[in-house]
Structure 1
Amino acid sequence: MNTDLTNTTSSRINSALVQARRAAGSPAVGMVLTLVIVTDEANHYDALKAAGDASREHPARILVVIKRSGRSPRDRGTARLDAEVRVGGDSGSGETVLLRLHGELADHADSVVLPLLLPDAPVVVWWPVDAPADPAQDPLGALAQRRITDSYAVEQPLRELAVRATSYAPGDTDLAWTRLTPWRSMLAAALDQARTAITSAVVESEADNPSAELLAGWFADRLKVPVEQVVTNGPVVTAVRLHTADGEIHIDRPDGPLASLAIPGQPTRTLALKVRTTAELIAEELRRLDPDEAYAAALRARATSPAPEIRAKVTPPAEIRKNQEHEHV
């Protein structure tokens, strides 16, 4: 059930939510958290779709804050709140409210959102694209236990990552870090099996990839070894190599959903290591609401460590021909 409200208030939106629930035959609230998405018209559809898919695992009230100040003479006029309430259907067991804030109201989004938060439930705020320099000090971010940004989604990812390191507060996280969870799990398992000291590490990825930077920071923090970064054609992180006295532990994922894992003295194995969707990343972040200390340590290590040596990976001619043939299959 969808309800459009023009020039409305938070009180009227709450009343519309109750009425929609009753009309759908499920007046009881079974949601576990409030997810606030702060975005714009251009990006709200993709963000809402990802959040809706994630809410099938974590039933939530999703509040999409779309700030419209300054976009047109109409938007720059009198402060106004337009809303669309969605209950049932694509919203699943949760609720979705699109909030379009016009005029000066766009600068006071927290006053609109606060009355719409689920009582006694955690709050997560997600900026899919343009996040504030200090999410914890942002009026909306201050309402949340967890604050999610995405350094990969901006024009200058490494500069964005440096800003995150400067402003980090417990509860902050970044989807560039979340993308590394399968890599970190696989590497931790490999190190448990190898049981040998690591002397250095190499991270291969596309250029200016924030996930690669955080992975290098994780190695610097946990292994206390020098880390080299190698630029490849991607996508994202393509390989990790850990040098030991017994040989090289390496994971290669040049493309596709599969990776090869090699550990000295053991046969090479093929494992699943796909590039995950935004919905899967958000669902993972909603599983935990405590501060991510590993992310904080990796971010801090990357910011304080000397700049790593970065070189381009030269692809042999035979491999280039093979890739070209593969592209035409």
Structure 2
Amino acid sequence: MIVDMPETTTAEVTKRLVRLRESNGVITMGRVLTLVVCTLDSSEAEGAIEAANDASREHPCRVVVLARGDREAETRLDAQIRVGGDAGAAEVIVLRLQGELINHESSVVIPFLLPDTPVVAWWPRGAPEFPSKDSVGRLATRRITDATFAPDPQATIKRRRESYASGDTDLAWSRITYWRALLAATLDEPPYAPAESVTVSGLHDEPALDILAGWLAARLGCPVRRRTGPLRVEVHRPSASIAIARPQTGVTATLTKTGDPDQRIALARRETRDCLAEELRRLDADEIYAESLDGIERVTYE
């Protein structure tokens, strides 16, 4: 069910939510968190809602979408409520802000936060320089950004170290979860020799590779080089080397180890909805993510 409420107020939207619960049996019990999605404009909102709906099947939640309009326009709030099949396992409230309301996003959001549940803020694009100091970010225990879609992804993921606060994370980090798991499992096999050097190559504008290089630098304590080229990670040991390579748009990677036959492994690029669902599984500080951001400083760029 989709209910449109043009030129409305937060009080009217709240009343309509109550009426929907009473007439259609829509309940908030079982909602484990409130996900606030901060989008740049209405055109971006639908993709974010789709990803949030998919993630909500694992994490039932209330999704509050802030869609910013024209700052110079007349102050106005247009709302839309989605429940039932149109909202996955979530309860979606879309708030389209115009004019002065854009400068008061947190005030618009507060009436819709579920009581006694965590708040997660997600910026699909256009994240603030310091998420923890943003008006919406201050309401959240977990703040999710995505450097992948920034104008300069590499510079953006490097700046995450300067702005990091407990509870921050970036979807570039969860995009490499399977790469990290595969590398960790492979390195935990004989001959157990320490790594001498690592080379990470791939697209220049792929921040997931920058933070992967930072993670390897922090974990292995050896020189790590980041290059532009085919998608590939090579770990060099005194007696053996390990390499994982995958076509940029492929779904299958090749694992090569000195002295062993090559292995083919499913390793497709992760969708935003899967990364978002992963980040919603934990609401505490991600210390390994923070260490990996620090590790980027030790990476040599070629």
| Coarse TM-score class (shorter-chain normalised) | over 0.9
Aligned twin of 1:214: 211
CA distance in 1, matches of 2:61, 2:103: 25
Matches within 5 A, 1:1-329: 1-27=1-27, 29-39=29-39, 40-70=41-71, 76-77=73-74, 79-194=75-190, 195-232=192-229, 238-254=231-247, 255-302=249-296, 304-305=297-298, 308-310=300-302
CA distance in 1, matches of 2:13, 2:228: 50
What is the CA-CA distance between 1:28 and the residue it aligns to?
5.2
Q: Deviations over 1:82-128 (max 9, x none)?
A: 11011112212320010011111110010110110011111111101
CA distance in 2, matches of 1:106, 1:243: 51
Letter in 1 for 2:274: E
Q: Deviations over 1:139-196 (max 9, x none)?
A: 1001111111111101111221232111110111111111110000000000111322
Q: Note closer, same or farther for the CA distance 1:28–1:95 as it changes in structure 2 (3 Å cut).
A: closer
Q: Note closer, same or farther for the CA distance 1:269–1:114 as it changes in structure 2 (3 Å cut).
A: same
Q: Deviations over 1:189-236 (max 9, x none)?
A: 001113221000010111132111111111111111111122125xxx
CA distance in 1, matches of 2:261, 2:80: 56
What is the CA-CA distance between 1:32 and the residue it aligns to?
0.8
CA distance in 2, matches of 1:56, 1:12: 28
Letter in 1 for 2:235: L
Give secondary structure in 1 for the equivalent of 2:158: helix
Give secondary structure in 1 for the equivalent of 2:151: coil
Aligned twin of 1:322: none
CA distance in 1, matches of 2:82, 2:166: 32
Letter in 1 for 2:266: A
Q: How many residues align?
A: 299
What is the CA-CA distance between 1:25 and the residue it aligns to?
2.6
CA distance in 1, matches of 2:151, 2:261: 41
CA contact (8 A) 1:17 1:87 kept: no
CA contact (8 A) 2:53 2:89 kept: no
Letter in 1 for 2:69: R
Aligned twin of 1:315: none
CA distance in 2, matches of 1:64, 1:21: 20
Letter in 2 for 1:199: E
TM-score norm. by structure 1 comes to 0.87
CA distance in 2, matches of 1:290, 1:183: 22
CA distance in 1, matches of 2:171, 2:154: 14
CA contact (8 A) 1:3 1:16 kept: no
CA distance in 2, matches of 1:22, 1:193: 58
CA contact (8 A) 2:217 2:224 kept: yes
CA distance in 2, matches of 1:152, 1:28: 33
Amino-acid identity (%): 45
| Structure 2 gaps, min length 5 | none
Runs of 4+ in 1 over 6 A off after TM superposition: none
What is the CA-CA distance between 1:2 and the residue it aligns to?
1.8
CA distance in 2, matches of 1:286, 1:27: 21
TM-score norm. by structure 2 comes to 0.94
Structure with max Cα Rg: 1
CA distance in 2, matches of 1:230, 1:101: 42
Letter in 1 for 2:285: P
Letter in 2 for 1:224: G
| Structure 1 gaps, min length 5 | 311-329
CA contact (8 A) 1:24 1:87 kept: no
